[in-house]
Amino acid sequence: MTWCGRVALAANSAATRTARNDVLSRYNALTLDEHSDLLSHIKVEAAGMRPPEIPDEIFEYYFSVDAMLAHPFLVSYIRPAIRFAESYGFDFGRTPIITSPGLTFGGQAIPLAATGLKVAEIPLGLVFLMREIGRGILNLHNSIAEHRRNEIEAFAEACVDLARLLYEPAAKVYELSSQKFRGTSLKSKLFSAQTTHVIAVFVILHEAGHIFLQHELNQITRDQEFAADIFAVEAFRSSKKDPKFNVFYDLALIYVCDLFSIMELEFAVNGGSLLGYPSFAERRDNLLSHYRPAPDVVAAIEAFRAQLAKFAPQS
């Protein structure tokens, strides 16, 4: 293991220990049958997902079954997501929120095979990229707002790279992202924490939304996809009703729409077939027509989308 790898692992391990224990303790509420159903589900999804030449410690920490139960890169967002859902009037109860190495780009909510326990699953590759997406979104907005032309181009390209990575298997995402983004400046890491927070919590709440709204999980419809998006945003907004938080809610809406703009880029190229399922662009438009934000908010979302579109792959 490299020196840098060892230091990063130790730092992350210490910083997330409390949140990990917190998330792990939620599994105590499961029955023994549900627990073993969950573990065998994860084992199937994790099979063959080990990146080549990865040290055992890193594998254990980021790719093992234990890691999927309470991923160190996701745990800090699980508690806030639970709090938001509760303030919106829903009880997370025993719903596990796990990470899946078998999924790319989008999460899912599914019933487990043997017990029917409903589980929210977030793709491992997305979890690895969450912080980079937060950085990419904030940096591109900042450079657009300050008319820094060279930076606009560089950050738009970085977002396009992220869009491509989101459709790769988690092991490849891990390898490529650890090479590609090592040099990100500390300043940009600090300021983008909130952006990352919004995106991560939204992704969790969307999957939880399918469960709370009692959607037929094996056959999610177009309208239910839109409904889960609205659920996630509403839950997010429910904890603080004071109008002084509106500035923050506008920003959150921008970040979520940006996430859709990023995901949309590769959807037509690498994504699944639509099969009546809404595209990410439609999901973004649905949020905009539902919330009807102020013109400057719409303009920011559109400027972001337009910059990415310049680098869009040819479908």
Alpha carbon dihedral 40, 168, 70, 48, in 10-degree steps, equals 40
CB of 207 to Zn ion, least distance (A): 7
CB of 146 to Zn ion, least distance (A): 35
The answer to whether the Cα torsion of 302, 305, 310, 312 is positive or negative is negative
Options 36-44, 57-65, 225-233, 236-244: segment touching Zn ion (CB under 5 A): 225-233
The residue sitting closest to Zn ion, measured at its beta carbon, is 228
Options 159-167, 188-196, 211-219, 228-236: segment touching Zn ion (CB under 5 A): 228-236
Which residue, 203 or 252, is less far from Zn ion as judged by CB? 203
Which residue, 131 or 206, is less far from Zn ion as judged by CB? 206
In 3D space, the residue among 147, 168, 141 whose CA is nearest the CA of residue 261 turns out to be 141
Which residue, 225 or 258, is less far from Zn ion as judged by CB? 225
CB of 164 to Zn ion, least distance (A): 22
Options 35-43, 134-142, 221-229, 288-296: segment touching Zn ion (CB under 5 A): 221-229
Options 81-89, 158-166, 227-235, 255-263: segment touching Zn ion (CB under 5 A): 227-235
Q: How far apart, in whole angstroms, are the C-alpha atoms of residue 155 and residue 135?
A: 9
CB of 265 to Zn ion, least distance (A): 19
Q: Which x/- pattern, by CB under 5 A, does the window 12-51 give for Zn ion?
A: ----------------------------------------
- Sequence-distant (≥ 6) Cβ neighbours of residue 272 within 8 angstroms: none
The answer to whether the Cα torsion of 188, 164, 252, 142 is positive or negative is positive
Which residue, 228 or 297, is less far from Zn ion as judged by CB? 228
**Angle value at C-alpha 86, between 248 and 91, nearest 5 degrees:** 150
CB of 282 to Zn ion, least distance (A): 13
In terms of DSSP H, where are the helices of 146-192? 149-165, 170-180, 186-191
- Sequence-distant (≥ 6) Cβ neighbours of residue 43 within 8 angstroms: 65
Size of site (CB under 5 A) for Zn ion: 2
Structure tokens at 121: 């699953």
- The string of DSSP codes covering 186-226 is HHHHHHTHHHHHHHHHHHHHHHHHHHHTT--TTS--HHHHH
Which residue, 198 or 297, is less far from Zn ion as judged by CB? 198
**Residues of this chain that bind Zn ion (CB under 5 A):** 225, 228
